[in-house]
Structure 1
């Protein structure tokens, strides 16, 4: 699943403030409460959580941010000034770090993209010291995230014979608490995870910003561009119109819902 080309810039400009920033602050605050000496972040993207960690963790705490996509990591590196961060292009399912090398592993909205989640959880367990914790969040069902639900329905209306389902299939497709707990156990965790549903609100200056974020700042873009009949710009306009019809023509505000998971070694 590609996060390359124009996606990293659109992702950072539109998607991060729309969807990710509130949960990045929440996750970084939870990490800070544990007072870790060393933190490893997986699937860091353009650094939404990395920036929050850099802001709230003491200077002596080491932060290592990893991602499988070099373009995303390059974008992140440019946005975290004034604080040493170790950057590494790395696969969350094969972390290039020694056993027991950190007190916290953090992942914001990345677990849904891992082809083998128990394997990735096993890698997090391996690099954690005794008493350390894996903290991550995943989106709740798409129906609980109004803007994304409207966007997917609008895209499906443009391509009724072959509707792109990236949003509900991947980012909003891993929200069953029992499945998450089972995958953690299959990865080797023996403690019971704490899984909390956290509600937030998202805001954008306009419906078009929402449409650009979701249609052009995620791999939904690739699914749209692979289909004939309508261009990316035409689909973006259709999504913008649907969002405006549902949420208004001025500044847009809508519900967000995610699951926040904490599990200790």
Structure 2
């Protein structure tokens, strides 16, 4: 993982939240919220909360006296999430590193992390930290994207960008979000972190946008892929967006477009 892979700053949080979240994240957030609350929970921790799509789905399902601590390593994303959520006395917003959580042992009934573990510099350490702050019987629920070939819009954007920038092909999407969807490796790393029970389930869905330009712009400008494109100049950024738009239009039609997405949801305890 490159240093730029973790940079969500500038205009990225707004584009990510307004465009990319409805495109690919909302369906998985609803699933995550349902899984967290399928058993009684009082104290819940969310790590790598991003712009708060899971927070918005999960908070309404928690009891009136629940405690929900929402964290992210990136303050601009956390501020975006907090601004969207509105006042809720059950919620605490706190910048935190998932590999070094500032909480005592056995503090939470459940921990959730939507599409965040792929950004952990040391996943086993991050898994072990989650286990440390879980109470006996507590659950760590997270998800990861499947291979980029199973996520069509991301694959198209990556291939188009590589064609236009052959000397320095932008590989953020394939390398980080879509580079860790290996159920066997996930099970092995969780066992090394001390979990006795692990469930991995594939979830497929459909990504839909009103126009082919939306997924092209979302991935190029609303993710750290922008950090790979920007050094080549704004004209090149827009050229990649435009070329990806045309490729999506050629493959999926004009007007509203839909393509498959795939990820895995993991429950460890």
TM-score by length of 2: 0.95
Q: Which residue of 2 aligns with 1:75?
A: 80
- Structure 1: distance between partners of 2:11 and 2:142: 26
Tell me by how many angstroms 1:56 deviates. Answer: 1.7
Q: Which residue of 1 aligns with 2:199?
A: 194
- Structure 1: distance between partners of 2:20 and 2:234: 26
- Say which of 117, 120, 123 aligns to 2:129: 123
| Residue ranges of structure 2 left out of the alignment (5+ in a row) | 1-5
What per-residue deviation string (whole Å, max 9, x for no partner) do you get for residues 157-188 of structure 1?
A: 11122211110100000011111111112222
SS of 1:40 mapped into structure 2: strand
Tell me by how many angstroms 1:229 deviates. Answer: 9.4
- Structure 1: distance between partners of 2:60 and 2:21: 17
Q: Which residue of 1 aligns with 2:3?
A: none
Q: What are the equivalent positions in structure 2 for 1:102-121 lying under 5 Å apart? A: 102-121=108-127
Tell me by how many angstroms 1:147 deviates. Answer: 1.0
- Structure 2: distance between partners of 1:116 and 1:145: 25
- Structure 1: distance between partners of 2:118 and 2:44: 21
- Structure 2: distance between partners of 1:161 and 1:97: 45
User: 8 Å contact 2:42–2:63 — kept in the other structure?
Assistant: no
- Structure 1: distance between partners of 2:85 and 2:245: 31
SS of 1:78 mapped into structure 2: helix
- Structure 2: distance between partners of 1:36 and 1:201: 30
**In the alignment, does 2:174 pair up with 1:168?**
yes
Q: Which residue of 1 aligns with 2:64?
A: 59
| Residue ranges of structure 1 left out of the alignment (5+ in a row) | none
SS of 1:253 mapped into structure 2: strand
- Structure 2: distance between partners of 1:200 and 1:128: 30
TM-score by length of 1: 0.96
Q: Which residue of 2 aligns with 1:99?
A: 105
